Amino acid sequence: MLNKKKILCYWDRFWNILLFNIIYKKIKNYLLYLIKKNRKYFPSIVSFQNQSIQVGWHAKKKMFQDPINIISSIKRFIGLSKDNIYKKYPMLPYLIKENDKNQIIFTTKFGKINISFIIKTILKYLLKKAKKFNKILIKGAVITVPAYFNSIQKNEIRKAAHEINLKVLRLLNEPTAAAIAYGLEKKQKGIFCVYDLGGGTFDVSILKISKGVFEVLATNGHSSLGGDDFDILIANFISKKINNVCKLTEIEYKNLLIKSEKIKITLSTTEKTEIIFLNQKIILTRKNFNILIYSLVQKTIKILQSALLDANINVKNISEIILVGGSTYIPLIQNTLEKFFSKKPLSSINPSEVVVRGAGLHAYFLNAQKKYDNRNPILLLDVLPISIGIELMGGFMEKMILKNTTLPIEVSKIFTNFKKTKQDFVLIFFREKKKYVKDCQLLTQFKIKDLPKKNAGEIKIVITFQIDVDGLLSILVRNDKLNIQKNIKIDSIYSNKNITTVNFEK
């Protein structure tokens, strides 16, 4: 068991803000590390200069002076190809390429760096700050991730932590962490909705809690919908007014985005604000803001309705609504949720801190392995956020494991040769979104070679999917007659051309 002072609870609000929590003798007395004047947040922004790397506030100050070499919100890019990144985020200033392993590479003054290096840089920065603050060695971490993260995205984070000798005690879904923060395991039973809207992504989870058992009934979300989109809408609104006078340059537009974020925050507490930009004075009211973001807010409600449908839960049966993420401060969002559920969401814990508090509590439970403060021991039953399947003849998708299946799970299926010949098997796996694989997201593919020539149906290949409690996937390929078993490892999470070859000798 790890010493109680050797747990680092790390949380990154959509990789826009970092906040961490060191556990002491009593979980009630958790300490939020403060930097200078009440700063308990680290912007997860990294500056890569010729001979130096800076993380946090120092990097943020340079963000719009040198945008190519200042990288932020890295979590948005995990699992995406270069083409997908530019398709989702066409205004990105970064120089992005793919190497021979189909990994995303950022070209900076410091050199060519991949996503794993950036994750490790941020984690090492946190470890350094924690050690400096409390003179202790951090050995273990509970790291929270969005509910929609798939196994290969989670594995990228776990792998980065492992490479800097940081033990991952648990990869905890953010909605579950939020529920733990509110002490909902104290309740005998209930069904809860966690509405999680951050800077770049949105997800919603429906949780059933009974005597310390957290069962995720359903989860849904959108990987590119969040507060950043609200900033863009404000910036475009202002830009149209200014463009009547002068055309904005790319740098001017990026500066306008920064100001738009401040406008968004201001309009969450006041009815109107004004901005002077390029000598133009523009007034923006909360009513204007609500009109701009209305369709996106309604989009989150449709996603929420889909999650309720998947969970087979009526809106009237929801006990409480938990808000997560800075974007949930916006009055229109709170009012919309109150109208939808006919009750006010919980608000006693800062939505920007609720996840890290839950992560801290869970780290304590994992470490102490006992009750504290009349809390029940916690059992987490998570679910798979999206179906996983294999391509069949004709381009159809056969689901091997269904969306919202409780984890851990193991599923096996037998495949065979369909004609008398010496043939190769090519097995292609997808994350299911549609009926046909052409509309699904590629997960991995591999080829089984050197099979003996047999009559149709005589060769039996057993494919086993194993997904652990953290949602990490492994694929086993087995042929009992040949007494061979292969464990397929997905080395690259970025490639849609990756083929793993498994040789079965005669």
Under-50 pLDDT residues of the chain: 1-8, 10-38, 370-372, 491-499, 506
Residue-level pLDDT at 120:
92
Number of structural domains, the chain? Answer: 3
Assess whether 23 and 146 both reside in one domain.
Answer: yes
435 part of a folded domain: yes
298 part of a folded domain: no
H helices of 397-468, in order, are: none
- Per-residue burial over 359-385, b = 16 or more CB atoms within 10 Å of its CB, e = otherwise: bbbbbbbbbeeeeeeebbebebbbbbb
- Structural domain of 497: 388-503
User: pLDDT averaged over the chain?
Assistant: 77
Could you tell me whether strands 388-391 and 397-401 are parallel, antiparallel, or unpaired per DSSP bridges? antiparallel
360 part of a folded domain: yes
Assess whether 122 and 11 both reside in one domain.
Answer: yes
Residue-level pLDDT at 244:
62
213 part of a folded domain: no
| DSSP, res 442 | E
243 part of a folded domain: yes
Reading the block at residue 455, the tokens are: 């009559």
CB neighbour class for 205 (10 Å; exposed up to 12, middle 13-18, buried from 19): buried
pLDDT tens digit string along 442-468? 667 767 776 777 777 777 888 888 888
Residue-level pLDDT at 38:
47
Residue-level pLDDT at 368:
62
Assess whether 92 and 172 both reside in one domain.
Answer: yes
Residue-level pLDDT at 328:
94
* CATH at 76: 3.30.420.40
- Candidates 18, 2, 156; CA nearest to 10 is 18
CA distances from 91 to 15, 87, 297 (A): 19, 9, 23
Q: What pTM, to 2 d.p., does this model score? A: 0.73
Assess whether 355 and 403 both reside in one domain.
Answer: no
pLDDT tens digit string along 394-435? 667 778 888 778 888 888 888 776 666 656 666 666 666 555
Assess whether 238 and 174 both reside in one domain.
Answer: no
Residue-level pLDDT at 40:
59
**Residue at which a domain ends, from 276, 293, 310:** 293
pLDDT tens digit string along 306-332? 999 999 999 999 999 999 988 999 999
